[in-house]
Structure 1
Amino acid sequence: MTVPTYHDLETKLILRWVDTEDVMATQRAIIEVTPEAAYLELPRGLRGEKGDKGDPGPGFWFRQLITNRNQLPTNLRDVDRGSAFPDTTSKSLWVWDGADYFEIPNFIGLRGEPGVTPRVQIGKVEPGGDAAVSVNQAASTPDTFVLDFTLPQGPVGPPGKKGDTGTASNVSSSPDVDVSRPPAVGEALTWNGSKWAPRNVLAPIGPFQMGPNDFQSFSQDLIGSSDLSEKLIGSMTVPGLPFDWRPVVLGGHLQWQTDLGIQCNVDVRVGNAQRGDIVGHGVGVRNGFILQHVSLHPWSTGQVVPGSTYGVVKANTATTIYVVMSKVYGSVGRWDFTRQNAGLTFMAMPAVIV
């Protein structure tokens, strides 16, 4: 076998570079030598030093939307590198690299279904130092958010201008007011469960008190005792008050002594010592010959309810409260009253007259 000489190869050595755009990636070339028995040895080159860091490539910036690649501009230059054109039809992005366009597929995403628009509701609003808002998870639902607010107290603003005088109203014409009976002195409109109506709202006036000096001691001897059954032992005049009222006895104390078989009681009357309504009463005993201590308490000869006229003193009318001692058992015998330690206390209770 004859080995070709260099002279034979001289005209048959072909160096053929293929795919020149891929040289930088593959770092190789194809050397074809004919005939087949020929070969050529080439020295391997040394690795060069690391080069300097290159300048950053240009980013891309959106120029305009297109619907077809044919709409891409054809007059771009190197300074236009980075120009980007989204294609709304193919969903690709075309970017100019200074010499040509390259494609980034599926750059534009598909539009999703519209979401549910949430509703917002106001929850608790509380005063606080710093403003804050939070979602009330317990009260919220998937489509409704409940927001709780903490709001600081704002500064007091300047006084506003005085407003215009409003139209006068008439309370009596209101559908929830009943003034079919005009209000009396001491009454005001109060809620009766269905309407506003006049009602006494005054508190009791007093107390009024009678002391020992408002009473008068007396002694009824055996002689003539059968001819006397009542004796006025005390009184007190009350000036007129601006409302109708009724005396309410809070309590009292009297002392007297009788012969055996004689019983005396005491009544507190209004306006007249003989015929006035009785508003207080005290009961004595019959055993006699001892000093009796009698307590006074509220009392009447019949039932008294709000609206009754029993014992009522009319407004702006002065009246006198009388304390009358009466012999209620026995005909002949001594009975004595002493004003020592005597007293009576009562209040002026506003009365409602229907």
Structure 2
Amino acid sequence: MTDTPIIHENDVMISMRGVADSIGLPHTVNPVELVDRDMLIELRQGPAGPIGPDGASAWPWDWQGDIADQAALQALRLGAADVGKAWRVVSDNAIHYWTGVGFIPFAEAFGRPGATGATTRLVGAATTVPAGAAAAAEITGDAPRQQLRIVFPRGDIGDPGDPGQAGRIQDAADVLIDDQHRLAQDFVLAWDAARQKFVPRPSPKLGGPWAIGQGQFAGGAHLSDEKKLLATITIPAQPMDWRPVVGGWIQVRTEGSAGQSRCDVSVSIGNIDGERIGYGHGSASPIWGSVSICADYTNPVQPGSRTGVVAANQTATLYVAARRTLGTARYTVRTDDAQLIVYALPV
């Protein structure tokens, strides 16, 4: 035996293997075994160290399923756009992950049962077919979301059942009530020829009444205004387009000589000079001052006309005014028993 060390001119393959220290000796000998160019070092395991920092995120996998063999895998001719795709090569039971440059194989990737998958929840769907046809059943879709489709042939007509409870009108086949055709207070069902169904419509009855009483009119004596605002009234929004229908009475008496001066009364929408929807003709006689107010429109009114129409869901303010239409004499407005009544006529 010689003390001369053996020097290898070539590399040596070193393998290290951890060995548990079940005794806990203060000093431990770590054996080294060298056979040809393979060296095995057994290292006693020390205490567990601290948890290291988080590593980089795992590469994303785009699982492509099974492929027969290496030849089929190479025939795919993958490029940079396919990075992350992975296949199981059945011939060698390995997963091959494409990096964009080449494949990384994971040998013997399959061999043990995997984790229990999610429980399939079958959703049933039944279809009837004419009597005498064959029954059938099939499961479709992918687990865990699958459907069981069953086909039932119709049987014989049974005996009449007991009378049921009265149904709702809105559930009838010829009634259309949905988000675009909603029911509302005081609506009725009207036939829609285009849809061939009954649909909700605002009631055709007059809305109201709303009224201005005598205490809400502004009167006065010896007035000289060419036009004087006597009262206003605001009508709340209605669920349909509508036209105001007005009627009323007030005293407007001229102070001039007979036939020399006259004052009328108008009702308009929006402002004192807005669209006219009511009018009352005064008298040129100083001893007669009763003015009857009734519906009167600036423009002709006929079915489909928009004259005097207030749009649905909008409030409307009506203005009542005295207007000198003849002469320059002063006039007196008396509010005793004066009133104006307003109705909403759906259009």
Same topology, TM > 0.5 = no
Instruction: State the TM-score, normalized to the length of structure 2.
Output: 0.44
Higher strand fraction (1 or 2):
2
Provide TM-score, normalisation by structure 1. Answer: 0.43
* Pair member with larger Rg: 1
